[in-house]
């Protein structure tokens, strides 16, 4: 599948470029030299790059300029890499992000909203 724009009405025709192989979630894909991970995956029709850490809702490209961090993936074992800013290279291993344990669950334990509440919790802990 190729969803790539090869003839743009303003930018013109896409010139010939070398192909580069990489993997996404264990499956091999090809992109063009100079593609970002996000653009190469979009050319293959892949829109979901990860899921929300707690809710599991799909996330993908939103701003495409590195501001929003919605396109974070794991690249060669390094987590939190922005797919919209990272060029593909030969034998790159990209893995989407999945549901993770929530670091804070305020409904399960008291979580201070102010410094005064923090001090009060500290005093209660020291009294025990």
> For 67-104, what is each residue's pLDDT tens digit?
888 999 999 999 889 999 999 999 899 999 876 655 55
| Residue 108: per-residue pLDDT | 47
Token pair belonging to 9? 């009405």
Helices (H), the chain: 37-43, 115-127
Answer yes or no: are the C-beta atoms of 88 and 37 closer than 8 Å.
Answer: yes
Task: Give all domains of the chain, ordered by start, each with its CATH number.
Answer: 7-127 (3.10.20.440)
5 band by pLDDT with thresholds 50, 70 and 90? confident
pTM, two decimals, is 0.73
Q: Are 111 and 102 in contact (CB under 8 A)?
A: no
Dihedral sign of CA atoms 108, 103, 61, 93 in order: negative
Q: Pick 2 or 7 by higher pLDDT.
A: 7
The mean pLDDT of the chain is 86
């Amino acid at each position: 599948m190729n969803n790539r724009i090869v003839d743009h009405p303003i930018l013109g025709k896409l010139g010939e470029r070398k192909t580069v192989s990489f993997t996404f979630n264990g499956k091999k894909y090809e992109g063009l030299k100079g593609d970002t991970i996000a653009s190469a995956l979009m050319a293959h029709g892949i829109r979901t790059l990860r899921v929300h850490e707690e809710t599991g809702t799909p996330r993908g490209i939103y701003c495409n300029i590195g501001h929003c961090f919605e396109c974070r993936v794991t690249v060669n074992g390094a987590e939190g890499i922005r797919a919209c800013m990272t060029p593909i290279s030969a034998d790159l291993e990209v893995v989407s992000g999945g549901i993770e344990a929530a670091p804070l669950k305020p409904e399960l334990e008291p979580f201070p909203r102010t410094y005064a509440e923090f001090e009060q919790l500290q005093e209660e802990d020291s009294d025990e």
